[in-house]
Chains A and B, each alone.
Chain A
Amino acid sequence: MTETKTGTEKQDILTKIENLDVRIIYFFVIIAVAYPIISPLGLPIPTSEPTMDIYDFIENLPEGSVVLVGSEVGAGAWSEIGPSLNILMQHLFDNNLKPIIISSVVDGAMMAEMYTIPKMIAPGKVYGTDWVNLGYLAGAEPGIAAFATQITSVKPVDYFDTPVEDLEMMKNVKSAADFDLAIICTWGDYEYLQYLRQYAIRFDVPIVVGAKSDMIPGLHPFYESKQVLGYLNGLRGAGEYEILTGHLGYAAASLDASSTYHLVVFALIVIGNLAMVARMFTKNKEGT
């Protein structure tokens, strides 16, 4: 079989495409992410049903309702889950609800204290009366179960080492039965399932989840069966919620970059598959 010069050139191009230097891919990724941040595109962000369900539920909670906020995310995933936590906390403060921050992740409560609370627009809110941070809860699910049964059994002091019994807000909050809602912002499946088992099933506490996008396939069935009232789908969900509440921030600003990045990924997948198909045609042609 004789290969024509044109056939050989085509094969070289195919080989070059199939073995594309990763640095070229990284270059396009950097451009795709950086450009919309420098010069926003202003793409519309429609609101999804799970996000709307959370918003409606919180809007209908009476003033003074106690909400458990699980800051189950560390520093690594903070840029994806942090905006969800921030905007949900802000909505709680806007509606004069009372959040209790807890975390079974080592630095979750610390991240909430340092990166969420300072960003809150909460005029007149007083720590101990309007919100409480109970800090890190060791022991994973057994710790969460003990916390649900009797808060002071595993958390006698708060994040600032103040006895819980001395906090004004905690005088009538003794167990999970006193929570009106649980918001779990988490970077893994394990954390929200713990709260689902120990709070939603045992004490009928409504649960909403701020999750990473890759957790949605496992989380959505719980939403469909209404065991989870709603969820925020990563940065997209946080951006939708920022628009709903009117507090535009990091998430809404980042969604343009998310769109262009995924377009680049889609283009790469198409190019890779076209190269594969072209190679199959070339091989078939040579074979005949």
Chain B
Amino acid sequence: MSFIRSRYINIGIIFITAFLMVFTYFFDIPVLANLVIFIQRTVTLIAALTLGWGAINFTMLAYKQVQNKTPTAPFHVYAVVVMLLMIVTGLIPPLLKSPQFLWMYNNVEVPADQTMYAMLAFFVASSCFRAFRARSKESLVMLVAGTFIIFTNIPIGSTISPVLPMIGNWIRKYPMTGASRGFNICVALGSLGITLRILLGREKAVTGE
């Protein structure tokens, strides 16, 4: 049993799988490609199963809330009831297309989701008023650049003055692109470092220790 749980088995699986993925990304070898497709299908299956595990986990969490009689327990119970209702109606044939499921999705889920998203407009407006203050030179530069970007993104900007979108596009094309590229390269190099650590078994969390 201790052999199965040995970290070297985990490291071996990770290394071989990752090597196959990277190798077939750059070289087209049919035999290896079929093996990689099998592995990717397995990952897809695992991902689908985790959705189910997420639902079970959520139900267990709600049960603990009810057991501990927390103030938010009724909301957890409501959430679990709604989740089970969607699952049950979704399983009515045809799967995920029954009138009951579609009614709940179109008349509850979609309006609720869009309302949550739409509320951001109010929060953005009030947070802009409170937080966007030029307290330093850097924040002043950010504020000025942000203003030009705002007027580039909205049609009224070019109506007020064609110079506004011209400056905004220049900011987008040069300083913003340069900074974004630098950030993306740093993220990519950091990811490369972490990946090498995982492949070489130096990342303990991944090897199960």
Residues of A within 8 A of B (CB): 20, 22, 25-26, 28-29, 33, 43-46, 74-80, 107, 110, 114, 137-140, 142-143, 145-146, 149-150, 153-154, 161, 202, 213, 216-218, 220-221, 224, 233-234, 236, 239, 255-256, 258-266, 268-269, 271-273, 276
Shortest distance from the beta carbon of A178 to any chain B beta carbon, whole Å: 16
Please report the C-alpha to C-alpha distance between residue A44 and residue B102 in the assembled complex, in whole angstroms: 39
Contact (Cβ within 8 A) A259 B122: no
Contact A46 B150 (CB under 8 A): no
Assuming A138-B45, A154-B40, A262-B150, what are 10 further A-B pairs, CB within 8 angstroms? A75-B113, A142-B39, A143-B47, A154-B41, A259-B156, A264-B125, A265-B150, A268-B125, A269-B128, A269-B143
Find out whether the CB atom of A218 lies under 8 angstroms from the CB atom of B156.
no
Q: In the complex where A75-B109, A217-B176, A262-B153 touch, is A153 in contact with B129 (Cβ < 8 A)? A: no
**From B126, B151, B154, contact of A25 by CB (8 A):** B126
Establish whether residues B126 and A26, one from each chain, have CB atoms under 8 Å apart when the complex forms.
yes
Cβ B47 vs Cβ A43 within 8 A: no
Q: Is the Cβ of A221 less than 8 Å from the Cβ of B180?
A: yes
- Residues of chain A contacted by B113 (CB below 8 angstroms): 74-76, 78
What's the Cα separation between A239 and B153 when bound, in Å? 12
| Across-interface contacts of B100 in A (CB, < 8 A) | none
Q: Chain A's nearest CB lies how many Å from the CB of B162?
A: 9
Whether B126 lies near A22 (C-beta < 8 A) is yes
Contact for A46 among B25, B39, B158, CB less than 8 A? B158
The interface residues of chain B lying within 8 Å CB-to-CB of A217 are: 172, 176, 180
Given contacts A25-B126, A75-B113, A217-B180, A145 and B40 within 8 Å (CB-CB):
yes
Report chain B residues within 8 Å CB of A271: 129
Chain B residues whose C-beta falls within 8 Å of the C-beta of A75 in the assembled complex: 109-110, 113-114
